[in-house]
Amino acid sequence: MWLKGDIVLTVGFARLRYLFRGWKDGERDYDLRVLDGETFDAVRRCVRAGLGL
């Protein structure tokens, strides 16, 4: 995973869209990724370091 931690943006969930990968069994297939707690903690540390906090 790659993370750019020195730029933080606020985005409303209503404006986000899942990445469409194609069709699977006649239905849309989306790329859904979930971070585990350990990885998300690493993301938080990276953002804090990138912002100098």
- pLDDT for 1 beyond 90: no
Three-state SS string over the chain comes to CCCCCCCCCCCCHHHCCCEEEEEECCEEEEECCCCCHHHHHHHHHHHHHHHCC
- 18 touches 30 (CB < 8 A): yes
pLDDT tens figures, 30-53: 988 888 999 999 989 988 888 888
How much is the average pLDDT of 4-31?
Answer: 86
Question: pTM for this structure?
Answer: 0.59
Percent of the chain with pLDDT over 70: 98
In whole angstroms, what is the distance from residue 18 CA to residue 48 CA? 27
Q: What is the pLDDT of residue 27?
A: 93
